[in-house]
């Protein structure tokens, strides 16, 4: 299939756009693969892609129960950053950032990664220190970060209420200039197309309904499109993790599923050129290329598998938005939706071999797994191909909870709804 | 503290006490008054003795009779039930808990005496601020702030609820035909007062 | 969501705070069975369907309740006081 | 009278002229007009430009489903973009402007996009703009360069940056039955419920009730509606809300609705809110939201003058405006015939109805022909012409079963083409409630399923009384672009391209082409899009399915949702002495919701100078600080001591009455949670204090254990934080100050030793005094009733005057505690253990307590964990909060982080900058040197020595003495 390029767009444009082919094939499932990946979200797709590219494993299928990208990859607020605090996290997310920086070329698909920077606002002196601590931590691990004064902020974020009478007075902020946003769907489609071109079978409308076992070993999956055998089975189903693992007989995991809402306003001419997060509560806001302000806040805070949220969180997020941007009171909310988060007990992901033989698990991404997509795929592919953790994800083990090696960015303890 | 003499009873103590609304409580008419009639009238009921009575499980009845004997108020057993009389008012705020307030001298001490081992008493006279809202539009104004059905059919006089306006916890007792007493934590009182005043501007309000 | 507090009656979600899975049993305080404690602190069934969970009516009567709620539909079928206090 | 206005009719107030400005030009309309009707009456038919191709666009509809006519309203300097002209009621002085055009609506340079239109097919941007792989534009640079231009071209209206001065409010409501929509179905439903005594709320998005009876021209129906509106108005249990849109259906039958209270009024600045955010908890919801007419897709279907038939009817009946002088209809169902005849009656020239159906059953055709309207059956419109407004349309024979256009057609001149492509029930709210729409073959529309008890659908919303159309959604021909989603410029060809590229699930179709993602959320386009995709897939429409409806039904102002949490109404907690601090010039800043004083700066003093002076004064003389914000919990009951024993890591059972003890709490996972002192006031009564920040959390924590884990314990907890005002008096002279003013109690060392408690009075007011020290000095906390806080504070200040008492703020408080190595929330950050903080001495081994079973897990005892140390600046430079500790002397190559500073200050006692830090293997580093580095903030790189965390008086002689 032709490479995507300006030339192709031009050529096809003149010929009625009839020359374009399917972005990925719609194959029938084979009976046997080397690796079956459950979950056609960002992580599953990236895993397939890196299995092929980094490890030469191409006899791979991805089983997706709905349409490709119907999970969280298709409903997140698209923020990509590596501004973490703790040692266990930063190198992993920074690796991801580096992959993002070349992703469009790598995939030959414009994922519209826009490095417009992310700014964390501070509203109290204590927060300034905390934030500086995070910035310093990043810098010491080779990640870009810089504290901003209110004057810097006035220049970068017009419309932000920097007055002393602001509802939440702003004392400063931390910027990670290389952070930004990417077009969420394009990431799924780009990985899908690139993986497909390397031979990966993407099986949509193929729900995994059970596992085939040989004693303790997992040997395949039962799906809505028939049984499929595989030497290795990788689970990447985000919010459905517990449910999926129950099918394998694992009743309990350090995971809870919670709903997170996101919002988009009506399209506006450029209003906000960076990503802003609020330090006094929980809010992050950016503007999509289409013009909508895209924003989100806290998870609703109770176990949920329903992809819809509640009203108090809507009100909370909107009130924080207008507190920061008083002009936005007249902007209008266009749409709200929800996605199911796989909240882990310490707010940090899990990438591991097992828990059964022949099985590999990738989960616990909470509300931050979009930015992790490339690195997650990279490290998970490594784990699957080599049967050992990648050094960047070595801390993301499943036994860290019991052993007490939790990586708790928020310091909340085993209350997933507070991470 | 029940151990302390009620500051209401002691004019000197009362004199030395200061409302959290001091400097922010301005009698007069505000907002849009229809025909010079305010939709609501707001006032602070400062200087009440306020105590919380909490019964041990099974001893609720004893607490109710303690209130009955000290205050001459008959409390029903149902959640939220309350009553108001000359000696003050009381209502149920939580299982086995009542908020009792009044101007009666030594109210706390007398209640403590009657409560005995049936439960505990906590003096909150300084810790709570009581704001009364009265007038034809009181329900309308309250409905802006609380997710509570204030309609008459579910809310007889004397009855009360525990609820909150965002971070501000409030116990609200219906104290008259259109009157409600809102009991908030003292530290929040000023913020709450401003919100209440602002919310009352639409209907016009009078501070007395 | 509306939760019907056994004391206060139906109240808005905003008045409640969540406290998680109510099906867990806390090990005996003196127990040193680490696995049991680990399971209690970290491991969750996280069902897609009926869930029993603690909520506190923190913006109301402050009592904790056990809510039976379906995590797929959010439909609540039962609310009762947690524990039986003396 | 304006040119297109009929001499009579409509619900507008003809005797009043209402002036407004559109794109800088002044016009007038009448009371009751919308901007759309008023502009139409003035002969203005181009109202906007489309999103991508910037094509000139006119009105398609007359209501909330309008995709084209979006304008920006300017009020008091604030801009409100993307307002539908069809819903915007004009008022005297209204200023509106068109959007997405430059320099003007008539001439827009971006319209050039139309000619590149073929290149800008769906999703073209995914395939290009990736830029070079090497060179200065590699990586994301090239894309970001292009993005700047794409962003400017995209977007619709422009939002301002000046704060919105308007006011918003929330309203909570309860009812037995909520009826959404006040058409006949809604009104009947409301009447039926209300007469059985139920409380009813009816909300209607339009300014007047009655729904389509207001314009359908059916006397019987409008009479019935009027009567019902009158009846309902009389009933006490009914509330009818107009200009109120039910936009969100949430769990528990909670419906959110937006009332536009004053948008239509010229007078602003009244205390009435602009918008009211209704939150309605309903026993039952009746969804009577009617049905929307949908257009058909054919080449040139976006030309101004092409409009829905029902919309034209509305403009004529409600506003007395004819949308054209010579109107042709194009339909696949009977409803358009009624429109045609009525418009003709009203004086329009209606030469023809073009009907895709070869045979039209029933009387419609005969009636039309009798009225002198030609019925061109078995034809379809294949092209429109006009520049930019429609001046003629081209009809060609059409076989609606095959979609083939046999034979040649004819042109009809007209200035309006009114289209009816069938009707879709408005089932958004049912869908939000979780209902799966059902395809109705006859109606060629999705209808809601049976209600599920929480809601029912009624009237047209349930599919009742709608005219069944022939199943025609698109006329495929070559006469130009055929639009499906007008706002987003998604064409039928785009849908087919998406299909070709495999984006054939409706959800993929939507995301790839953005069909249905515009401000109208596809109200007029979703069904056609699905139908065209179904055709491409050769699958039936229901199999293709529909995309998900999500709140809000129509856009909602963010201000309304913020309601009273806007502007300066902040929920602050203030201590009883707040005003005093403010008067003394203290800079107050938020600690959670509390406001606390940072320092009491004298004129010309910096914060640092002030806190050093304040702290020094404590060490040398005496200071006073407001600590009323500490959490205080009354713990009472026969099992109170036992309970505290389980909650705290250290023992409380044996604490004597009249004594206080410092306690530490852990979380169940073994990490530290909070610390504070707890005072035993009586055998069965304790007063617990917590840190300011954790008060609520600790309360909940304890309530949880009492309610859920140990319900057998007889303990009552009550928050008494607000009951007490508290002042800490610290310094060598503290005792003298108390001695000078405390009545009724001795404060000498024997009576009041460290951790002792006495009761007495100050200035005639009862107080309780506990000898505690956070500062490390001889110190006391004086508690009194909060209403007496200021009185006691004044008395303490007065008594302290001769001892040199001065107030100190949080900065000095922090300094004193750092010098002492006392911990706060900066160290108990949710990741540290008692071990990390050297609080092992507080861990009782004699009893289990919350967290005891988990605290010695491998990971929590790992020697490489970060633990608490002190640091001293060796260069005399100021240490910076948030700095990290590193080993490298080279600022550019500092090595990895060994830990970080949690707190820093200038220590007057030590004469140096010092700090506390959590560092890897802390104890092992005591006495060693390192650097405190702050690359992200100040850039400082300061040599430090790592020392024990007790800097000052480690033996505690001063506080015990
Ligand atoms: C509202 C919202 C905002 C967010 N914002 C951000 C953000 O700004 N930045 C950020 O980094 N992250 C963000 N996230 C998180 C991020 O989206 C997720 O962590 C990440 O997408 C999860 O990985 P995934 O893409 O593989 O998951 P998904 O896309 O959810 O993939 C899982 C897939 O598994 C499939 N599946 C489930 N069960 C089965 C089965 N039985 N058989 C077959 N397939 C199955 C699902 O259909 C789904 O497609 C946000 C998430 C949400 C919901
Ligand atoms: N000939 C046809 O095909 C056709 C089409 C439509 C209606 N009708 C006739 O019209 C009558 C139906 O009346 P009806 O009451 O069902 O519909 P209706 O259209 O008269 O009323 C629906 C009302 O709901 C309002 N509404 C919609 N969504 C809302 C929301 N989210 N919030 C608040 N208000 C909202 C609309 O503004 C409208 O006033 C019947 O007699 C029917 O036969 C006929
Ligand atoms: C970054 C981002 C931007 C979005 N912008 C829009 C938008 O402009 N218009 C729109 O209708 N939906 C927008 N959506 C929301 C989608 O329509 C959709 O609601 C979301 O992907 C979840 O899918 P669901 O609603 O089908 O469950 C956006 C979603 C994301 C993640
Ligand atoms: Zn309750």
User: What does the pLDDT look like over A31-74, one tens digit per residue?
Assistant: 999 999 999 999 999 999 999 999 999 999 999 999 999 999 99
What's the pLDDT at D843? Answer: 97
Q: Does D847 touch chain B (CB under 8 A)?
A: no
* Interface list for C 29-58 with B (CB within 8 A): none
Name the neighbours of C, counting chains with at least 3 Cβ pairs within 8 A: A, B, D
Q: What is the pLDDT of residues D463-479, one digit of tens each?
A: 999 999 999 999 999 98
The DSSP output letter for D913 is E
Please tell me whether residue D141 adopts helix, strand or coil conformation.
helix
Angle at D788 between CA D787 and CA D792, to 5 degrees: 155
Name the residue among A6, A165, A329 with its Cβ closest to that of D557: A329
Judge if the beta carbon of residue A109 lies within 6 A of ligand 1.
no
Query: What spacing in Å lies between the alpha carbon of D375 and ligand 2's midpoint?
Result: 28
Written as six digits, the tokens of A346 are: 């310490």
Confidence (pLDDT) at C86: 42
E-assigned strand segments in chain B:
28-30, 40-44, 49-55, 82-85, 88-94, 97-102, 119-123, 128-134, 160-165, 168-174, 180-185, 205-207
pLDDT-derived band at D269, boundaries 50, 70, 90: low
Cβ–Cβ below 8 Å for D571 and B166: yes
Angle (nearest 5°) at CA A181 between A198 and A86:
95
Q: How many Cβ contacts (< 8 angstroms) between chains A and D?
A: 351
Is D636 within 8 Å of B120 when comparing Cβ atoms? Answer: yes
Centre of ligand 4 to C-alpha B154, Å, is 16
Half-sphere exposure of D385 (CA within 13 A, CB side): 8
Q: What mean pLDDT comes out for the span D946-955?
A: 95
Please give the CATH topology (third level) of the domain spanning B29-207.
Gyrase A; domain 2 (3.30.1360)
Average pLDDT over residues C14-20: 97
Please give the full DSSP string across B88-111, using - where no structure is assigned.
EEEEEEETTEEEEEE--TTHHHHH
Closest C-alpha to ligand 3, atom 19: A337
Q: Check CB contact under 8 Å for A252 and C43.
A: yes
Listed in sequence order, the residues at least 6 apart from D167 whose beta carbon sits closer than 8 Å to its beta carbon are: D271, D272, D273, D274, D566
**D939 contacts D890 by C-beta, under 8 angstroms:** no
Rounding to the nearest 10 degrees, give the CA dihedral for residues D706, D707, D708, D710: 40
pLDDT at D922: 94
Identify the band that residue A319 occupies on the pLDDT scale cut at 50, 70 and 90: very high
- Residue ranges of chain B whose pLDDT lies below 70: 1-9
Q: Cβ contacts (< 8 Å) between A290 and chain D: which residues?
A: 154-155, 514, 517
Give me the CATH code for the A30-79+184-254+346-418 domain, please: 3.50.50.60
From the CB of residue D493, how many other CB atoms can be counted at a distance below 10 Å? 20
D552 preceded by cis ω (within 30°)?
yes
Inter-chain residue contact C15 with B163, CB threshold 8 Å: yes
Work out the minimum CA distance from C41 to partner chain B, whole angstroms. 29
Residue written as token pair 């109510």: C22
**Two tokens at D254?**
């909670």
Statement: residue D38 has pLDDT above 50: yes
Q: Which ligand is nearest to the CA of A262?
A: 1
In terms of C-beta density within 10 A (0-12 exposed, 13-18 middle, 19 or more buried), how is residue C8 classed? Answer: buried
Whose CA is closest to D200, among D145, D171, D237? D237
Secondary structure of residue D917 in the 3-state scheme: strand
**Dist. CA A75 → ligand 3 center (Å):** 6
pLDDT digits (tens, 9 = 90+) for D606-640: 999 999 999 999 999 999 999 999 999 999 999 99
Does domain D1-162 sit in CATH 3.60.110.10?
no
With 0.90 as the threshold, say if the pTM is over it. Answer: yes
Phi-psi region of A362 (alpha: psi -120 to 50; beta: other; left: phi over 0): beta
Q: What are the tens digits of pLDDT across the range A243-300?
A: 999 999 999 999 999 999 999 999 999 999 999 999 888 999 999 999 999 999 999 9
What's residue D627's pLDDT? 97
Closest approach of chain C CAs to the CA of D831, in angstroms? 16
B119 Cα to the center of ligand 4, angstroms: 20
Q: Is the CB of D548 under 6 A from ligand 3?
A: yes
Please check whether residue B172 is in contact with residue B128, taking contact to mean a CB–CB distance below 8 angstroms. no
Q: Which CATH superfamily is domain D834-841+848-960 in?
A: Aminomethyltransferase beta-barrel domains (2.40.30.110)
* Number of inter-chain CB pairs under 8 A, B vs D: 143
Which ligand does the CA of D510 lie closest to?
3
- pLDDT confidence tier of residue D890, bands split at 50, 70 and 90: very high
**CA B98 to chain CA centroid, nearest Å:** 11
Give the one of C60, C84, C85 whose C-beta lies nearest to B163's C-beta.
Answer: C60
Cross-chain Cβ contact C11/B80 below 8 Å: no
Give backbone dihedrals phi and psi of D68, rounded to 5 degrees, phi first: -100, -50
Distance of CA D211 to the CA centre of its chain: 31
Q: Under a CB-based contact definition with an 8 Å cutoff, are residues D11 and D18 in contact?
A: no
Q: Give the pLDDT score at D721.
A: 98
pLDDT confidence tier of residue D819, bands split at 50, 70 and 90: very high
| The pLDDT value given to residue B2 | 39
Residues of chain A neighbouring D572 (CB-CB closer than 8 A)? none
Beta bridge partners of A63: A38, A203
CA distances from D566 to A325, A409, D482 (A): 11, 30, 45
Mutate to test the pocket of ligand 3, among A259, A260, A292, A371 (most ligand atoms within 8 A of CB): A292
Can you tell me the distance from the alpha carbon of A317 to that of A323, in angstroms, rounded to the nearest whole number? Answer: 10
* CA of D245 relative to ligand 3 center, distance in Å: 22
Bin D194: left if φ > 0, else alpha if -120 < ψ < 50, else beta.
alpha
**Residue linked to tokens 């009249």:** D658
| Domains present along chain C, CATH in parentheses | 1-24+50-86 (3.30.2270.10)
Residue pair A373/A43 in contact by the 8 Å Cβ criterion: yes
Ligand in nearest proximity to the CA of B169: 4
Q: Tokens in use for D888? A: 């490298």
Judging by beta carbons within 10 Å of its beta carbon (0-12, 13-18, 19+), is residue D753 exposed, middle or buried?
exposed
Where is A155: in which H helix or E strand? helix A150-156
Contact C62 B162 (CB under 8 A): yes
Pick the closest to residue B165 from B181, B149, B187, B142 (CA basis). B142
Asked if residue D444 has a cis previous peptide bond (ω within 30° of 0), the answer is no
Neighbours of D214 (CB within 10 A): 21
Q: What is the pLDDT of residue D1?
A: 47
Q: Does the interface predicted TM-score (ipTM) exceed 0.95?
A: yes
Task: Name the residue with tokens 């006081």.
Answer: C81
CA angle in degrees (0–180, nearest 5) for A190-D128-D505: 45
Residue closest via CA to ligand 3's atom 7 equals: D517
Residue B151: HSE in the Cβ half-sphere, 13 Å Cα cutoff: 12
Candidates D432, D937, D940: best to mutate against A (most CBs of A within 10 A) is D937
CA distance C74 to chain D (A): 7
Radius of gyration of chain C (CA): 14
Cα D820 from Cα B103, distance rounded (Å): 47
Q: Token pair for residue D519? A: 């401000």
Cβ of C61 and B57 within 8 Å? no
Interchain CB distance below 8 Å, B17 and D594: no
C-alpha triplet D577, D581, D585: angle, nearest 5°: 165
Chain-chain contact of C2 with D253 (C-beta, under 8 angstroms)? yes
φ/ψ of D172, rounded to 5, equals -95, 135
Q: At A287, which helix (H) or strand (E)?
A: strand A283-287
Which atom of ligand 1 approaches the CA of A81 most closely? 11
Longest dimension (CA), chain A: 67
User: For domain D482-543, which architecture applies?
Assistant: Orthogonal Bundle (1.10)
CA dihedral D306, D312, D316, D318 (to 10 degrees): -130
Residue of D753, D637, D612, D775 whose CA lies nearest to D702 = D637
For tokens 């004529």, the residue is D316
- Residue range D168-288, CATH number: 3.50.50.60
Q: Cβ distance A395 to A405 under 8 Å? A: yes
Average pLDDT, chain D: 95
Q: In which residue ranges of chain D is CATH 3.50.50.60 found? A: 168-288, 294-421
Q: Among D138, D355, D918, D952, which residue's Cα sits nearest to residue D620?
A: D952
Determine if ligand 2 sits within 6 Å of the CB of residue D183.
Answer: yes
Query: Which residue carries 């769907």 as its tokens?
Result: A185
Q: What is the tens place of the pLDDT at every residue in D558-589?
A: 999 999 998 878 889 999 999 999 999 998 98
Q: Show the tokens assigned to D267.
A: 């007078």
CB contact under 8 Å between D830 and A331, yes or no, is: no
Between residues D17 and A10, the one the model is more confident about: D17
* D182 Cβ inside 6 Å of ligand 2: yes
pLDDT in tens, D316-360: 999 999 999 999 999 999 999 999 999 999 999 999 999 999 999
For residues A419 and A308, give the distance between their C-alpha atoms in angstroms, rounded to a whole number. Answer: 19
pLDDT value, residue A216 = 87
3-state secondary structure of A352: strand
CATH architecture of A110-179+256-344: 2-Layer Sandwich (3.30)
Q: Does D892 touch chain A (CB under 8 A)?
A: no
Q: Please state the atom number of ligand 3 nearest to the C-alpha of residue D548.
A: 26
For D668-717, how does the pLDDT look when each residue is reduced to its tens digit (9 = 90+)? 999 999 999 999 999 999 999 999 999 999 999 999 999 999 999 999 99
Q: How confident is the model at residue D46 (pLDDT cuts 50, 70, 90)?
A: very high
Residues of chain A with pLDDT > 90: what percent?
91
Q: Are strands D806-807 and D623-626 parallel, antiparallel or unpaired?
A: parallel
Which residues are C53's β-sheet partners? Answer: C21, C67
Task: Indicate the pLDDT class of residue A13, thresholds 50, 70 and 90.
Answer: confident
Q: Which atom of ligand 3 is nearest to the CA of A183?
A: 1
CATH superfamily of D294-421: FAD/NAD(P)-binding domain (3.50.50.60)
Q: How many residues does chain C have?
A: 86
pLDDT given for residue B3 in this prediction: 53
- The domain limits of chain A are 30-79+184-254+346-418, 110-179+256-344
Give the pair of three-digit tokens for residue A300.
């609703």
């Amino acid at each position: 299939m032709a490479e995507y390029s300006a030339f192709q767009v031009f050529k096809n444009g003149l010929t009625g756009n009839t020359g374009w082919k399917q972005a990925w094939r719609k194959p029938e499932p084979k009976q046997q693969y080397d690796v079956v990946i459950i979950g056609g979200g960002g992580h599953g797709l990236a895993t397939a892609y890196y299995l092929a590219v980094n490890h030469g494993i191409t006899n791979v299928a991805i089983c997706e129960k709905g349409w490709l990208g119907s999970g969280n990859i298709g409903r997140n607020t698209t923020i990509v950053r590596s501004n973490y605090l703790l040692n266990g996290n930063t190198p992993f997310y920074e690796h991801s950032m580096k992959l993002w920086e070349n992703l469009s070329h790598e995939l030959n698909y414009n994922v519209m990664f826009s490095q417009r920077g992310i700014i964390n606002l501070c509203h109290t002196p204590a927060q300034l220190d905390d934030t500086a601590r995070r910035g310093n931590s990043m810098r010491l691990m080779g990640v870009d970060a810089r504290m901003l004064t209110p004057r810097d902020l006035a220049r970068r974020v017009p419309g932000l209420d920097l007055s002393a009478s602001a509802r939440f007075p702003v004392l400063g902020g931390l910027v990670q200039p290389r952070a930004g946003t990417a077009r969420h769907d394009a990431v799924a489609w780009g990985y899908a197309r690139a993986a497909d071109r390397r031979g990966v079978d993407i099986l949509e409308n193929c729900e995994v309904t059970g596992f085939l076992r040989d004693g303790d070993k997992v040997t395949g999956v039962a799906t809505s499109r028939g049984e499929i055998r595989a030497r290795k089975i990788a689970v990447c189903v985000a919010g459905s993790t517990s449910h999926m693992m129950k099918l394998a007989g694992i009743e309990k995991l350090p995971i809870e599923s919670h709903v997170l809402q996101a919002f988009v306003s009506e399209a506006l001419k450029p209003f906000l050129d960076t990503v802003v997060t609020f330090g006094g509560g929980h809010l992050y806001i950016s503007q999509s290329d289409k013009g909508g302000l895209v924003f989100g806040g806290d998870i609703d805070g109770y176990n949920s598998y329903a992809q819809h949220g509640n009203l108090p969180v809507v009100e909370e997020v909107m009130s924080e938005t207008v507190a920061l941007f008083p002009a936005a009171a007249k902007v209008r909310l266009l749409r709200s939706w929800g996605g199911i988060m796989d909240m882990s007990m310490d707010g940090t992901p899990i990438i591991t071999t097992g828990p059964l033989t022949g099985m590999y698990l990738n989960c616990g991404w909470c509300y931050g797994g979009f930015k992790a997509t490339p690195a997650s795929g990279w490290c998970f592919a490594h784990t699957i191909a080599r049967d050992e953790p990648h050094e960047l994800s070595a801390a993301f083990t499943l036994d860290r909870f019991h052993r007490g090696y939790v990586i708790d960015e928020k310091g909340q303890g085993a209350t997933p709804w507070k991470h | 503290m029940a151990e302390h003499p009620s500051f209401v009873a002691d004019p000197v103590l009362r004199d030395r006490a200061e409302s959290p609304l001091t400097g922010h409580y301005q009698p007069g008419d505000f907002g849009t008054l229809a025909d010079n009639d305010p939709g609501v009238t707001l006032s602070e009921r400062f200087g009440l003795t306020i105590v919380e009575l909490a019964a041990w499980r099974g001893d609720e009845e004893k607490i109710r009779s303690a209130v009955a004997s000290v205050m001459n108020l008959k409390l029903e057993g149902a959640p939220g039930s309350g009553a108001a009389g000359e000696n003050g008012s009381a209502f149920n705020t939580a299982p086995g808990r009542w908020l009792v307030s009044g101007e009666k001298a030594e109210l706390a001490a007398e209640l403590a005496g009657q409560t005995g081992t049936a439960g505990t008493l906590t003096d909150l006279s300084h810790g709570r601020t009581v704001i009364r809202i009265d007038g034809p539009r009181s329900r309308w104004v309250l409905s802006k702030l609380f997710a509570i059905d204030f309609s008459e059919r579910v809310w007889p006089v004397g009855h009360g609820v525990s609820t909150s306006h965002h971070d501000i916890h409030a116990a609200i007792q219906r104290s008259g035909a259109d009157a409600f007493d809102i009991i908030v934590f003292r530290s929040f009182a000023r913020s709450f007062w401003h919100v209440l005043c602002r919310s009352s501007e639409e209907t016009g309000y009078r501070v007395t | 969501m509306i939760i019907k507090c056994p004391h206060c009656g139906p109240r808005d979600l905003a008045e409640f705070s969540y406290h998680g899975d109510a099906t867990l049993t806390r090990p005996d305080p003196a127990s040193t069975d680490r696995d049991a404690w680990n399971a209690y602190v970290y491991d969750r069934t996280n069902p897609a369907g009926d869930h029993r969970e603690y909520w506190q009516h923190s913006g109301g009567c402050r009592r904790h309740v056990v809510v039976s709620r379906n995590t797929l539909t959010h439909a609540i079928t039962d609310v009762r006081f947690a524990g039986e206090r003396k | 009278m304006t040119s297109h206005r009929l001499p009579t009719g409509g619900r507008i107030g003809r005797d009043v002229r209402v002036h407004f400005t559109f794109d800088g030009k002044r016009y007038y309309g009448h009371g009751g007009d919308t901007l759309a009707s008023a502009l139409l009456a003035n002969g203005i038919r181009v109202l906007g430009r489309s999103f991508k191709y910037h094509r000139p666009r006119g009105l398609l509809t007359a209501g909330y489903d309008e995709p084209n006519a979006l304008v920006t309203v300017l009020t008091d300097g604030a801009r409100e973009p993307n307002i539908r002209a069809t819903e915007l009621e004009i008022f005297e002085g209204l200023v509106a402007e068109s959007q997405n055009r430059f320099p003007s609506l008539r001439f827009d340079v971006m319209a050039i996009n139309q000619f590149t239109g073929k290149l800008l097919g769906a999703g073209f941007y995914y395939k290009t703009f990736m830029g070079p792989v090497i060179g200065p534009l590699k990586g994301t640079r090239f894309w970001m360069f292009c993005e700047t231009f794409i962003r400017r071209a995209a977007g619709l209206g422009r939002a301002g940056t000046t704060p919105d001065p308007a006011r918003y409010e929330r309203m909570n409501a309860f009812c037995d039955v909520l009826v959404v929509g006040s058409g006949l179905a809604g009104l009947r439903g409301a009447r039926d419920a209300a007469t059985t005594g139920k409380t009813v709320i009816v909300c209607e998005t339009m300014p007047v009730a009655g729904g389509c009876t207001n314009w359908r021209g059916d006397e019987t129906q409008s009479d019935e509606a009027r009567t019902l509106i009158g009846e309902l108005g009389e009933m006490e249990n009914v509330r009818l809300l107009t200009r109120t849109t039910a936009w969100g259906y949430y769990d528990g039958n909670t419906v959110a609705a937006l009332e536009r209270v004053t948008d239509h009024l010229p007078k602003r600045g009244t205390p009435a809110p602009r918008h009211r955010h209704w939150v309605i908890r309903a026993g039952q919801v009746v969804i009577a939201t009617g049905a929307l007419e949908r257009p058909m897709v054919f080449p040139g279907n976006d030309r101004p003058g092409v409009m829905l038939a029902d919309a034209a009817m509305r403009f004529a009946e409600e506003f007395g405006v004819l949308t054209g002088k010579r109107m042709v209809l194009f339909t696949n169902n009977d409803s358009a015939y009624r429109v045609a005849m009525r418009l003709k009656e009203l004086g329009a020239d209606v030469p023809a109805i073009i009907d895709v159906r070869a045979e039209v059953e029933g009387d419609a055709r005969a009636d039309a022909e009798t009225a002198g309207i030609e019925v061109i059956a078995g034809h379809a419109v294949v092209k429109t012409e006009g520049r930019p407004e429609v001046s003629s349309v081209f009809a060609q024979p059409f076989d609606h079963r095959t979609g083939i256009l046999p034979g040649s057609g004819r042109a009809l001149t007209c200035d309006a083409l009114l289209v009816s492509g069938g009707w879709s029930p408005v089932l958004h709210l049912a869908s939000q409630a979780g209902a799966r729409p059902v395809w109705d073959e006859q109606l060629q529309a999705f209808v809601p399923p049976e209600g599920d008890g929480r809601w029912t659908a009624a009237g047209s919303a349930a599919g009742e009384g709608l005219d069944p159309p022939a199943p025609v959604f698109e006329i495929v021909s070559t006469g130009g672009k055929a639009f499906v989603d007008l706002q987003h410029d998604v064409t039928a060809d785009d849908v087919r391209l998406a299909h070709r590229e495999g984006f054939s699930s409706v959800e993929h179709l939507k995301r790839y082409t953005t069909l249905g993602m515009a401000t109208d959320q596809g109200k007029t386009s979703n069904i056609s899009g699905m139908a065209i995709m179904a055709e491409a897939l050769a699958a039936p429409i229901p199999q293709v399915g529909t995309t998900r409806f999500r709140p809000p039904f129509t856009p909602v102002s963010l201000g309304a949702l913020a309601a009273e949490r806007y502007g300066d109404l902040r929920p602050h907690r203030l201590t009883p002495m707040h005003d005093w601090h403010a008067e003394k010039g203290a800079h107050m800043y938020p600690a959670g919701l509390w406001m606390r004083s940072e320092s009491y700066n004298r004129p010309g003093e910096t914060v640092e100078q002030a806190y050093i002076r304040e702290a020094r004064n404590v060490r040398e003389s005496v200071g006073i600080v407001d600590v009323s914000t500490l959490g205080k919990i009354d713990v009472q009951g026969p099992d109170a001591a036992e309970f505290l024993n389980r909650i705290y890591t250290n023992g409380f059972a044996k604490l004597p009455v009249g004594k206080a003890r410092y306690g530490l709490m852990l979380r169940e996972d073994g990490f530290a949670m909070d610390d504070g002192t707890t005072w035993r006031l009586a055998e069965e009564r304790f007063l617990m204090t917590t840190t300011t920040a954790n008060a609520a959390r600790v309360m909940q924590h304890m309530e949880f254990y009492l309610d859920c884990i140990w319900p057998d314990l007889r303990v009552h907890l009550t928050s008494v934080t607000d009951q007490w005002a508290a002042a800490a008096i610290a310094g060598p002279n503290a005792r003298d100050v108390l001695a000078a003013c405390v009545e009724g109690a001795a404060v000498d060392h024997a009576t009041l030793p460290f951790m002792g408690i006495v009761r007495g009075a100050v200035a005639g007011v009862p107080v309780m005094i506990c000898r505690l020290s956070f500062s490390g000095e001889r110190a006391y906390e004086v508690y009194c009733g909060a209403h007496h806080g200021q009185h006691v504070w004044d008395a303490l200040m007065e008594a302290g005057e001769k001892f040199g008492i001065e107030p100190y703020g949080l900065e000095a408080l922090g300094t004193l505690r750092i010098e002492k190595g006392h911990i706060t929330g900066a160290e108990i950050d949710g990741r540290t253990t008692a071990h990390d903080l050297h609080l092992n001495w507080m861990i009782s081994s004699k009893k289990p307590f919350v967290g005891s079973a988990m605290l010695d897990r491998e990971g929590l005892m790992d020697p490489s964990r970060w633990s608490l140390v002190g640091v001293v600046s060796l260069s005399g430079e100021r240490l910076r909060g948030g700095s990290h500790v590193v080993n490298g002397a080279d600022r550019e190559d500092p090595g990895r982080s060994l830990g970080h500073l949690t707190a820093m200050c200038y220590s007057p006692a030590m004469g140096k900058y010092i700090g506390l830090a959590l560092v890897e293997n802390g104890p092992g580093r005591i006495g060693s040197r390192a650097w405190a580095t702050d690359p992200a903030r100040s850039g400082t790189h300061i040599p430090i020595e790592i020392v024990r965390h007790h800097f000052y008086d480690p033996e505690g002689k001063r506080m015990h003495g």
